[in-house]
A and B are shown apart, each in its own frame.
Chain A
Amino acid sequence: MDINATLLGQMLVFGVLIWFSWKFIWPPLTKAIEDRQKKIAEGLAAAERGQTELQSAHGEAQVIVNAARDQAKKIVDQAHKREVEIVDEARSTAMEEGKRIVDSSRQDAAQEKSRARDELRKDVASLAVAGASRLLQREIDPKAHADLIEQLAREIEGAKA
């Protein structure tokens, strides 16, 4: 151990080192560290905020989807109801129409039937007159025996009926 003026020199050196470190090294380094800490904290907070926002957006989307689903269901139900209505309407219309057609044809048939009957009656009268003339070998005045023929025709008709 040889203590001499080196001690004073070393104190000076140490002092200068401390001063330099105090003034020029420590402040920028701690500032960088603190700024980065702040930045990281902000980033984490932003991430958390984003997470929350995403969650709420998910919720909102769910609500919208549910509403749309309800709407769609309502529309489909309405369409079903309308379909049934239309089918019913069509059915009743068709039935009425069919009934009308059947009625008119029935009317037509009745008319035809009575017309044919009249004709037939006329034919029977003339046939009866012709037959009787041949039987009697002479002319019969249809007018003189109209009552008789008419009665005959009615009997035939009655037998037929």
Chain B
Amino acid sequence: MSAAEHAAGPANSTEYITHHLTHLKVGEGFWSFHVDTIFMSVLLGIVTLGLFYTAGRKATVGVPSKWQAFVEMVVEFIDTTVKEVFHLDRSFLAPLALTIFVWVFLMNAMDLLPLDLPGKVAALFGIHYWRVVPTADANTTFAMSLTVLLVVLFYSFKAKGAGGYIHELFTAPFGSNPVLWIPNFVLNLVELLSKPVSLAMRLFGNMYAGELVFMLIALLGAGVFTLTFGSAFGFFGQVAMGAVWAIFHILIITLQAFIFMMLTVVYSAMATEHH
């Protein structure tokens, strides 16, 4: 569970952390892919959709099974949350919010797996690098936030029409005087682009930092096999702090999934409001 077990692996802490932060990558330059990120996110996506799909297919009007009750509870919770913020037809936005919440939650939850376990499993298949938390990869979070930006733009055009939206870009918030067109537009552009950036960076930063803290805690017990007082102290430190951080992290992964979902709904709701 710790660096000490990396007997044949990294020689020191720097190498251990660097190793853990390296993606399994194919391709060169921009046209390269993080195989681990894509694999894990697709796998968790299939798990998410599969579980919910079976619940939906077996859904009965009568007394629900425990799993169906749980799924319905999640659905109801998200539907209520969306309904409170977004007042138009939510037949698309609500399932979008559900997807974000559950998928992001599961991807974040990979952070709670024992730090070296995925690497060990990957090593069985002859793979040397395997990062298991897709949301600790900025590619995932930016992919999601840019998709959300597209959704927000779609709702803007839908609610105001192309002319109305472009008109608003140039005339709000300062006024319709031609002199103010440029400042209005610049401000709106910044506002629009800050949304995906803040969404993506918030989730990425939280998960990346969380992962890093897990690595640092794991390093505490690295010297346990030297059997000195210091190494024993370090080992107990690893156990205690690892437990505390993992418990705290349960809150963080849920909260971050909820925040991502909530902000998506809020941005969509803002897009449909007229200035």
Contact = CB atoms under 8 A, between A and B. Distances in A.
Interface of A: 1-11, 13-18, 20-22, 24-33, 35-36, 39
Contacts of B96: 18, 21-22
Contacts, number: 130
A26 B23 contact: no
Interface string B107-148: 000000000000000000000000000100111101110110
Interface in B21-39: 23, 27, 29-34, 37-38
- Interface range on chain B: under 10, 10 to 19, 20 to 34, or 35 or more? 35 or more
Contact of A17 (B68, B103, B139): B103
B30 A4 contact: yes
B45 interface: yes
A7 B33 CA distance: 8
Main secondary structure of the interface of B (DSSP, over half): helix
B98 A5 contact: no
A4 to B, nearest CB: 5
Given A6-B37, A17-B45, A35-B61, A24 B53 contact: yes
27 contacts: A1-B204, A2-B139, A3-B139, A4-B31, A4-B34, A5-B27, A5-B31, A5-B33, A7-B143, A9-B139, A9-B143, A10-B37, A11-B144, A11-B147, A13-B38, A13-B45, A14-B103, A21-B52, A25-B53, A26-B91, A26-B94, A29-B52, A29-B71, A31-B59, A32-B56, A35-B61, A36-B62
Given A5-B33, A9-B38, A17-B49, A25 B98 contact: yes
Contacts of A4: 27, 29-34, 139
A28 B142 contact: no
B57 A3 contact: no
A24 B56 contact: yes
B41 interface: yes
A154 to B, nearest CB: 127
A32 B61 contact: yes
Given A2-B138, A21-B99, A25-B49, A14 B144 contact: yes
A44 to B, nearest CB: 15
Give the 6 A-B CB pairs with smallest separation, nearest first: A10-B143, A32-B59, A26-B95, A6-B139, A28-B56, A11-B143
B99 A17 contact: yes
Interface stretch (B72-80, B163-171, B222-230, B236-244): B72-80
B214 to A, nearest CB: 19
Contacts of A32: 56, 59-61, 64, 68, 72
B263 interface: no
A24 to B, nearest CB: 6
B248 interface: no
A10 B135 CA distance: 11
B180 interface: no
A146 to B, nearest CB: 134
B59 A22 contact: no
A8 B143 contact: yes
Nearest to A25: B52
A29 B144 CA distance: 24
B22 to A, nearest CB: 10
A39 B64 CA distance: 13
B147 A14 contact: yes
Contacts of B140: 6, 10
Given A7-B142, A13-B41, A33-B72, A18 B32 contact: no
B55 interface: yes
Contacts of A9: 33, 38, 139, 143
Contact of A1 (B29, B49, B99, B138): B138
Contacts of A16: 45
A11 B146 contact: yes
Contacts of A5: 27, 30-33
Contacts of B53: 20, 24-25
Interface string B65-103: 000100110011001000000000001101110110001
